[in-house]
């Protein structure tokens, strides 16, 4: 039984570029979450999917951010026109219904 996987693990990009991250949840999990973690802080909720439906977006998610989960399997998080303030660890988690959330290894984004 494989865990949550994320790709890439690290991404360095120049300000203004677009980036896309991928998350593959645990296969039988119907719920998928994205969180953002800045240095020295705990993760903060970004968005949530139940199957393919995106049910909530945090106010942290500006219009430059978009997330999808086609077919209710993997998910992508895209950031357009990146800014230095977007530099953070982006964590994906999945769960079966409302049970424990299991996290992936994260994608560390550095915007130069």
| Residue 108 touching other proteins (CB under 8 A) | yes
Least Å distance between CB 48 and other proteins? Answer: 6
Q: Could you give the CA distance from residue 23 to residue 105 in angstroms, rounded to a whole number?
A: 10
> Are 107 and 43 contacting, i.e. CB atoms less than 8 angstroms apart?
no
| Residue 21 touching other proteins (CB under 8 A) | no
Q: Could you give the CA distance from residue 53 to residue 41 in angstroms, rounded to a whole number?
A: 29
| Residue 74 touching other proteins (CB under 8 A) | no
Binding site for other proteins (CB under 8 A): 31, 33, 35, 40-45, 48, 56, 89, 91, 93, 95, 98, 100-106, 108
């Amino acid at each position: 039984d494989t865990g949550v996987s994320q790709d890439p693990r690290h991404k360095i990009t120049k300000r203004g570029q677009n980036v896309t991250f991928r998350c593959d949840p645990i296969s039988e999990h119907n719920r998928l979450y994205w969180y953002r973690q800045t240095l020295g802080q705990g993760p903060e909720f970004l968005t949530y999917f139940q199957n393919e439906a995106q049910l909530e977006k945090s106010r942290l998610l500006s219009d430059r951010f978009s997330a999808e989960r086609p077919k209710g399997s993997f998910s992508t998080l895209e950031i357009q026109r990146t800014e230095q303030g977007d530099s953070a660890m982006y964590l994906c988690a999945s769960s079966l219904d409302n049970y424990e959330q299991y996290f992936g290894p994260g994608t560390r984004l550095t915007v130069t």
